[in-house]
Structure 1
């Protein structure tokens, strides 16, 4: 584990909490990205910087709302950068990990934009250049591995949730599901081949490379679980380590951890297999474990230091997306549900359902979805799925059951079959 960072003793939550702020001019921005930053009111003079990156279809504000990094920033006094990607490659709002420009150090696209954001925080808030970290989910996890490969001189460590190895995608055509050799399971390279890709990203680098923490659900079919092993092989080869872990344990139920340490006992690669999880990370407590791996908390917590967010995530880690649903007038009665198709590809599609309260608040909701034959829901987020095709039931989860009068919440899903609009019902107890 990397050395523990200096943390201000007794950081307290201020009476008026900090807020997410958009920065419209932060420097060179070849990726055309948006930047949001969360700066805790109580922080050291030179705070650490964490770059937290969303999945396809998401946004910086969405990842701010749906993850625990901002609450941890309040607790430990680091600054969080939330980039919003705008690249399109079959999906929308994905971090560019496929283009030649993005795979070349200093080549342009999103990596250069992210570096500009980091420089802005260093200038504006005194961010510590020796304590810069990367983390992200799905597309953001892929970009985490990309940034560690391209810029080991910038980042101190990284934590990638549901990512893929650096240089896994050949080009933009290789990115969308159904067409991708990378996420289609065809990328079985040797550890040395994976490691060579990283070494060639910055051939002149002679310093200490940043340790990496990896997370993946064993039931993930969207970014298949087997890619965790490919990523382990990449980074262990980069560090000159065996692919056999130096230790294994289960720090929490269902969290199977493998650690790969060097001859000094320093953990360089740490990999979590989350039993039964699909494409839905990070879940409660995982951000805290990532921050502990970075050395920003003192010791890894055994329970989440914060409660799950009260604002539900509005986009999943790998949704493509776009414009928000059109404004719906207030409805009467318990609740209503509306559907929009977010994206489609050969053999599958992604949908999003907005659940809206009527003129009175609701405390719990149940949505029925009935599809034409041949449609099977394979992944769902922000709800609990039951049933089998063509009829499904989705119930709220703990953090999004209560909806204020005329308010709304969103759940999303991935499905196989021909893209089609389901018949919807909504009921509230």
Structure 2
């Protein structure tokens, strides 16, 4: 069970370069800089979820809304700091909701895509909580009900497809990274990995069966269906690559389309794209196979492609400069402590790092330097930037954890591959000062 939990936990990606934009005269400009804020009391919350919200400084009167969802073991703030959606929101003026799942299913912080309540519109659990968050943004920030979108990674990618099935009248499009088709999981006991029929590698239903599952989630619904973009790595073994084809079958059936793409191309090296358009030429389903990628999406540039698929690149743009590099305080006079916990499996591991400022003075901006054991390579991380991916690594703060008052701690982490040595680094230095090992 520990292996199952760690392999799903804390998935995130490095920040990516932003999209170019054009000035819009309809944008507002608050006096204070935007930051991630937690919202409580947002409405009906049967899933017991937490809500974090990113409202960019400059936005139109009725901004679009993007719901961005983390993987198992992650959190809304973690997905905020480890993905590029907030930066794109700064440039394009949309609002981002970052839900935090609290359901366990034996693994921790996974979005409920397995229960009977979650599989029908208005049934309860996480889907109702997420729609409450959307309604809150519409009430409090004038969010445009005609431009609501969902995206997410792993468990969040699963929930993306789930929300499009259960609430087709709320969401206009979605981008699912490493997800599964709607109603893939029979119940909580079937949730991945291990003995799951869904993610065990042998799931194979007909397009009609997949499409019927979506139609049964909201019986009688006859309105437009949300468009969907699907992403999967060809070397993903945690959520098998074969499930991309099952998702294609499901959503092309929902739209009444052939499983033969209307076009194929390679937008960039290693990205193989299949498009499925209707008679009018509108692409309703778009699928990306990322050559050689494991369970590590989205990576650089993919969020921008998702936002472009939503149609947001030319609607509410905001010119912003690149994110400035992290700046560091002097080395902490008095010390620092680092806790480092590894959970490993054959060929992979996750590392959870706790950094504590044990000095008497505050730190405003930090870098943590350490040497990974030979054969370890970071594939994704959360709550920090990591460079390079192997050897002598430097982890740098992100916006929400740059300040460490005396006695304060912050938690960061990463997922990595290894060739046999899953051990921990021998030493750590915070802003150049050696840290005690906690």
- Regarding TM over 0.5, the answer is yes
- Give how far 1:186 is off: 2.3
Question: 1:93 pairs with 109, 119, 124, which one?
Answer: 109
| Unpaired segments ≥5 residues, structure 1 | 1-5, 312-329, 371-375, 387-392
Deviations 1:71-118 (A, max 9, x none): 111211111111111000121111100111111211100000011111
- Give how far 1:221 is off: 1.7
User: Greater relative contact order (Cα 8 A, min sep 6): structure 1 or 2?
Assistant: 2
Deviations 1:197-225 (A, max 9, x none): 11111121111111001111122222111
| Unpaired segments ≥5 residues, structure 2 | 1-21, 327-331, 433-438
2:72 and 2:325 map into 1 onto residues whose CA distance is: 22
Question: 1:209 pairs with 225, 235, 238, which one?
Answer: 225
Say which SS state the counterpart of residue 232 (structure 2) adopts.
strand
Q: Is 1:365 paired with 2:369?
A: yes
- Which residue pairs with 1:352 in the alignment? 352
CA distance 1:341–1:89, change in 2 (3 Å):
farther
Answer yes or no: is the 8 Å Cα contact 2:28–2:61 preserved in 1: no
TM-score (norm 1): 0.78
- Which residue pairs with 2:415 in the alignment? 413
Q: Is 1:107 paired with 2:126?
A: no
- Which residue pairs with 1:381 in the alignment? 380
- Which residue pairs with 1:248 in the alignment? 264
Say which SS state the counterpart of residue 118 (structure 2) adopts.
coil
- Which residue pairs with 1:236 in the alignment? 252
- Give how far 1:292 is off: 0.9
Question: 1:22 pairs with 22, 34, 38, which one?
Answer: 38
- Which residue pairs with 1:157 in the alignment? 173
- Shifted more, 10-19 versus 220-229: the winner is 10-19
Say which SS state the counterpart of residue 365 (structure 1) adopts.
strand
Answer yes or no: is the 8 Å Cα contact 1:13–1:75 preserved in 2: no
Answer yes or no: is the 8 Å Cα contact 1:337–1:426 preserved in 2: no
Count of aligned pairs between the two proteins: 389
2:351 and 2:56 map into 1 onto residues whose CA distance is: 35
2:234 and 2:334 map into 1 onto residues whose CA distance is: 42
- Give how far 1:395 is off: 3.3
- Which residue pairs with 1:314 in the alignment? none
Q: Give the CA RMSD over aligned residues.
A: 3.8
* Alignment map for 1:313-332 (pairs within 5 Å): none
- Which residue pairs with 1:395 in the alignment? 393
Answer yes or no: is the 8 Å Cα contact 1:43–1:77 preserved in 2: yes
- Which residue pairs with 1:284 in the alignment? 300
- Which residue pairs with 1:324 in the alignment? none
Question: 2:48 pairs with 28, 32, 39, which one?
Answer: 32
1:108 and 1:237 map into 2 onto residues whose CA distance is: 26
Deviations 1:294-336 (A, max 9, x none): 111129x9xxx9858968xxxxxxxxxxxxxxxxxx7989x97
Q: Is 1:178 paired with 2:194?
A: yes
- Which residue pairs with 1:325 in the alignment? none
